[in-house]
Chain A
Amino acid sequence: MLDSSEGYVTEDGRKIGGVVMEMKNITLRFGGVVAIKDISFDIREGEIRAIIGPNGAGKSSMLNVISGFYVPQEGEVWFHGAKRPPMRPYEVAQQGIARTFQNIALFEGMSVLDNVMTGRLSFMKTNIFQQALWKGKAEAEEGENREAVEKIIDFLEIQHIRKTPVSRLPYGLKKRVELARALAAEPKLLLLDEPMAGMNVEEKEDMSRFILDVNDEFGTTIALIEHDMGVVMDLSDRVVVMDYGRKIGDGTPDEVRNNQEVIDAYLGVSHD
C-alpha cells in the first residue's frame, strides 16, 4: 500500500495524501565529516513521519536541510511537487514550514505571548508606516492575529503563563511554548526536533497528545525526531532510520522494528 502515489490509509483509519516533501539523494558534509550520505525519503500529506537513529546520526542536520539552514552539497529538495531553488531559512519558513529546536530556541527576553505572536509573522501585512501609526490597519491586524494566537494558547493549555517572560519558565513549559510558536505559523509541514527530550513521563504523555491532536485537528503534516522508541512507535505512521549519516531503514514502525540492520545499529554492532 505504501507505494501508491495517491497515498494510503493508516491502521487507525486516517487518510494520508500524496507526497508533500521529497528529499532526493541528499549529501551534506562539514569539512571531512559526512553528516548525511546520499539519503532519499519522502513525507506525505497528513502523516506523522519519524526520523530516528543513534546520537550523531545526522537527524538534526536533516531537519536543518529541510529548514534551509544547511545547504547540502548534493541532492535536491522537492516541496509540493516542485524543486526548491536555493533560499534563505526565513523564505523557507514563509513557504509554510515551521519547527522547534533540539535545544530550545525561544526569545528569552520576550513574554510567552510575544514569542507565540512572532510565529505569525507571515500573516503580518502592514508596513512600518502603518505600524508607526498603529490606529487602523496595524491595530486591526494585531487583534486578528492575537485571536488566532489565543486559540493556540488555549489548545496547548498555557493560558496562565501568557504574560510571563520566557526566561522564567521551567524546561517542560518552554518546550510547549516553542510548539505554540511553531503552530502559530499554521504550517503545512511541522518539524519537531526531539520534542520530548528531557521530559518526565507525564510531560511526554501531554506532548504526545498535543502532537496527535495537532495532526488530527489541523491536518498538519509532521516530521519529528525522537529517541524514545515507545513514543515513536505510538505516534508515527512511517519511520526513517539513520545511522552514521546513512539511511538504514524506512517503513512502518513494525517493518522498521523487525529490520535486522536497524536492530544492529541500536544494539551497537560494530561498523565494519
Chain B
Amino acid sequence: MFYREAGDFKTSYRDDSQTFPIKFDRYRYYVVLAVAFGIIPFIINDYWANALLLPFLIYAIAAIGLNILVGYCGQVSLGTGGFMAVGAYACYKLMTAFPDVSMFIHVLLAGGITAFVGVLFGLPSLRIKGFYLAVATLAAQFFLVWLFNRVPWFYNYSASGQINAPERDVFGIIVTGPNASAWATYLFCLIFLTVSAIIARNLTRGTTGRTWMAIRDMDIAAEIIGVNPLKAKLTAFAVSSFFVGIAGALFFAVYLGAVEVGEVFGIQKSFLVLFMVIIGGLGSIFGSFAGAAFLVLLPVVLKLIGVDLLGWPTDIVAHLNLVIVGALIIMFLILEPHGLAQLWRVAKEKLRLWPFPH
C-alpha cells in the first residue's frame, strides 16, 4: 500500500486539477525529468542517441500532436507523414535562407508554418466526418509528398532531389549536421518534447481540451450547448499540426540529416504515428509517450533477441515486427481502445488497493 492517495488531501480546486494529483506520481515525474536532463546527457553515445533516444523523443512529439487531433478531438487523420514533411521542408528552407538564425527559431517557425497548412487541410472537417475525412487527409498526404517531389524550389534545385541539413547551432552549440554531438541533439529534442508535452497537457485539461472532447463525443450537442465547432476543430488541427511539424523538422534536421521525401515521410509514416497513438492510448498524453517508446523499442529488442541472440535471419525478424504490431493494433482496438495508458491506470488502481482486493 505504499502507492496511495489517502492522507493526500486537496485543499483547493487548483490542487485538484494538477497534472499529477497524487504525490507519488509527482515525485516519479520529477525523477524522470532529473534523469532525462541531468544524467542521460552525460552518458549518452551515438548508438543510443540514433537507435533509441532521438527517434523516441521525436516520435513522441508527433504522437502527442496526432493524439490531440484523433484522440481528443475525434478527427481522423492519415496525413501525419505529409505534415511532418511540411515541417521538414519549412525548416530546410528557413535553415538555408537564414543561416545565422538560431536553430531553435527555425524549428518553432517550421511548426508554425505546419500549423497554418494543417488548418487549410482541416477545413474539410467542417463538412465531412469519419471515413470521408480520413480519405481527405489521405489525399493531403499524397498531395504534399508529390508537391515536395515535384517543385524544385522546395529542395533548392539540388540534383538529387533530396534535402540535406547544413550545420546549424543554438547559442553556439551545433545541433545539426555531421559534427553535432549526441548529447546536444538529444537535449535539443528533449527540450522540444518536454515543452510540447506541457503545452498539450495544459490545453487538454482546460477549456480548449473540453471543447475538443465535446466535439469528439457528440458534435451536434456540443454546438447546441455553445461550442463553436469551427473554432474547436481548427484549433485542434492547428495545435496538432504545430507539434507534428516540429517533429518533422527535428526528424529531418537533427535525426536523419538528409531526406528523400517519399521514403521518409510517406504513408507508412502516417500509419506508424497513428499506431503509436492507438497502442499508447487515444486521448492520453502519457499514452503518446508509451506508444512512441513501444514502437521504437520493439524492432530494436526483436533484433537484439532474434538476430543477435538466436541467430535468426534479419528479414524474418523484420516480418515478425510487422506481425506483432498488426496483432497488437487489432487487440487494442477491440479490447482496450485507451491503450497502454489505460492498462497502466488499471495496474495503478490495483496497486492502490493492494493487498486488499476491494
Contacts and interface: CB of A to CB of B under 8 A. Distances in A.
A68 B211 CA distance: 19
B227 interface: yes
Contact of B225 (A110, A132, A133, A181): A181
Interface string A95-126: 00011010001111110001001110110101
Interface string B258-295: 00000000000000000000000001000000000000
Contacts of B283: 109
Nearest to B19: A134
Contacts of A150: 13
A132 B235 CA distance: 12
Nearest to A99: B224
B256 to A, nearest CB: 29
B203 interface: yes
A46 B52 CA distance: 65
Interface stretch (A138-146, A203-211, A253-261): A138-146
B314 to A, nearest CB: 42
Interface string B194-224: 0000010011011110110110111011111
Contacts of A101: 221
Contacts, number: 106
A125 B239 CA distance: 19
Most-contacted residue by chain A among B203, B210, B213, B216 (CB, 10 A):
B210
A51 interface: no
A143 B221 CA distance: 25
A264 interface: no
Interface stretch (A1-9, A16-24, A74-82, A86-94): A86-94
A94 B224 CA distance: 10
A133 B202 contact: yes
B13 A147 contact: yes
A269 interface: no
A68 B225 CA distance: 11
A182 interface: yes
A16 to B, nearest CB: 27
A105 B205 CA distance: 21
Contacts of A33: none
B226 A138 contact: no
A109 B205 CA distance: 14
Contact of B202 (A69, A121, A134): A134
A267 interface: no
Given A105-B221, A131-B202, A139-B14, A110 B227 contact: no
Nearest to B204: A131
A144 to B, nearest CB: 9
A185 B202 contact: no
Interface string B43-79: 0000000000000000000000000000000000000
B225 A93 contact: yes
A150 B13 CA distance: 9
Contacts of B13: 142-143, 146-147, 150
Given A107-B214, A114-B210, A121-B211, A128 B223 contact: no
Nearest to A101: B221
A27 interface: no
Nearest to A69: B224
B213 A185 contact: no
Contact of B203 (A89, A99, A128): A128
Given A110-B210, A121-B227, 7 more contacts: A68-B224, A99-B225, A105-B224, A109-B213, A109-B216, A134-B202, A150-B13
Interface of B: 12-14, 16-17, 199, 202-203, 205-208, 210-211, 213-214, 216-218, 220-229, 235, 239, 283
Interface of A: 67-69, 88-90, 92-94, 98-99, 101, 105-110, 114, 117-119, 121-122, 124, 126, 128, 131-134, 138-139, 141-143, 146-147, 150, 181-182, 185
